[in-house]
Amino acid sequence: MSSTLLSVEDRRAARSELRRRKTIALLFVLPLLVFLFFAFVAPIASMLFRSVYQPVVSDLIPDTLDLMEDWTGADLPSSEIMNRFAIDLKRLANDRTSGRLAGEVNRALPGASSVIQSTARRLRNVDDADLAQNGAATLLQANKRWGDVDLWQSIQRTGQAYSFNQYLTALDLQQNPIDGSVEVRDGPKIYIDLYTKTLRLALVITLLTIILGYPLSYFLAGLPDRSANLLIVFVLLPFWTSLLVRTTSWIALLQTNGVVNSVLMGIGLTNEPFEMLYTEFSTVVAMTHILLPFMILPLYSVMRGIDPSYSQAAMSMGARPIQAFLKIYLPMSLPGLSAGALLVFIISVGYYITPALVGGTEGQMISNLIAFHMQQSNNWGLAAALGSILLAVILLLYWTYDRFVGAKGLSLG
């Protein structure tokens, strides 16, 4: 037998030693994994879940919705359903939760809120037995609109706890209430346009950072160590400054009587100030400035590692400088360029603070609308659906990049 093979005890000892080392390594990483779980995985999972699960209405009127399961939706629901709903609505009115039902149904059918609320107020003191008999008539007496099919259709639609309705709205589609087919929404169509605009702005910003960042990194990479270290500090210092400070300083620069306009008017180039703030232009400029270090740093790190003798060898063999650059240097810097471009693009697609501060109404991106739905219209389901679609778009882009360039072609230095 060869003496390089381990005996059984040695093999067992080696395996348990390996296991021990792996456990220790895992214990080191455990706090980070726990933090990642609570701060990253759990919120995203919660958001994805919220986009398909909205139990508000189904928790409020479960009995009515149970009876509505057999209702086709073509004509008015039966009196049994309407009586049951009247009883449920009276219960909600006395619990003071009818407002939540009104708000949810109103999202599906604007105008429903006042109908539900006023009817709820009238039902508060009606006898239960009376409602079980003539609930339908009482409803119609309280408000004529209980005779409209679309109001009942909206109640049924919002009563689905698990549904893709929010995704349909987020893609400017709707579901035909009668045959259930998906069709283009017959109301305002804003989301597809906004997604396209966001992607377009992100692309422009990425190209601008490439145009500004590549020459600078090339210059920095060619400097001797001391000067390079000093100049790279000038790139890093603004990077370490607070984001809000950088954004608001753009407000001071671009506003109507700000620095840029005062200089232009002072040297006589123009008599009236330019409207630069609260436009798409200001969003692009401010975001390019803020995201430039994300492009410069990977590029600089990769370029620093490129041996200049390759380009020199190419030129010594007769290549002109531009040819040497395009054929030798550029492909070697591509990993850093890809990393920087991907980083800038993905960050700018989801960026919120800068468009919110300097964008005004023209420079709004999808993130601003998601924030609007979270904070003001309180439609967390729709905000979650919009966020999930954004996540899917980014993942698709990264997968496409991986397919054509290869993730191994990425290098942060």
Partner 1 sequence: MVWDSHVYDLDVWAIVKGSKNKALGLEFITHATKSKPLAGMADVAYGPTRKSSAVYVDPSVVPNLPTSHIEKGIKADGIFWADFGESLGEKFNEWLLR
Residue ranges binding partner 1 (CB under 8 A): 102, 106-107, 110-114, 187-190, 193-194, 197, 361-362, 364, 369, 377, 379
For the CB of residue 188, give the shortest distance to partner 1 in the complex, in Å.
4
We find the least distance from the C-beta atom of residue 136 to partner 1, in angstroms, to be 24
Please, which residue, 167 or 214, has the CB nearer to partner 1?
167
| CA 297/CA 237 separation, integer angstroms | 13
Angle at 289 between CA 347 and CA 354, to 5 degrees: 60
The tokens describing 237, both together, are: 């210092």
User: Of 68 and 369, which CB lies nearer to partner 1 in the complex structure?
Assistant: 369
- Beta carbon of residue 196, minimum distance to partner 1 (angstroms, whole number): 10
Q: What is the dihedral of CA 368, 369, 371, 376, to 10 degrees?
A: 130
Among residues 362 and 402, whose Cβ is nearest to partner 1? 362
Which residue has 């589609």 as its token pair?
173
Work out how close the CB of 273 gets to partner 1 at its nearest, in angstroms, rounded to a whole number: 23
248 and 357 Cβ atoms separated by less than 8 Å:
yes
CB 280 within 8 A of CB 288: no
Helices (H) then strands (E): counts for the chain: 21, 2
Q: How far is the CB of 200 from partner 1 (least distance, A)?
A: 12
For the CB of residue 163, give the shortest distance to partner 1 in the complex, in Å.
19
Give the separation between CA 171 and CA 153, rounded to whole angstroms.
21
Query: Nearest 5 degrees, angle CA 127-CA 131-CA 135?
Result: 150
Q: Which is nearer to partner 1, 282 or 379 (CB)?
A: 379
Select 190 or 243, whichever has its Cβ closest to partner 1: 190
Decide if 156 contacts 75 (C-beta within 8 A).
Answer: no
CA dist 235 and 212 (Å) reads 13
Nearer to partner 1, 187 or 268 (CB): 187
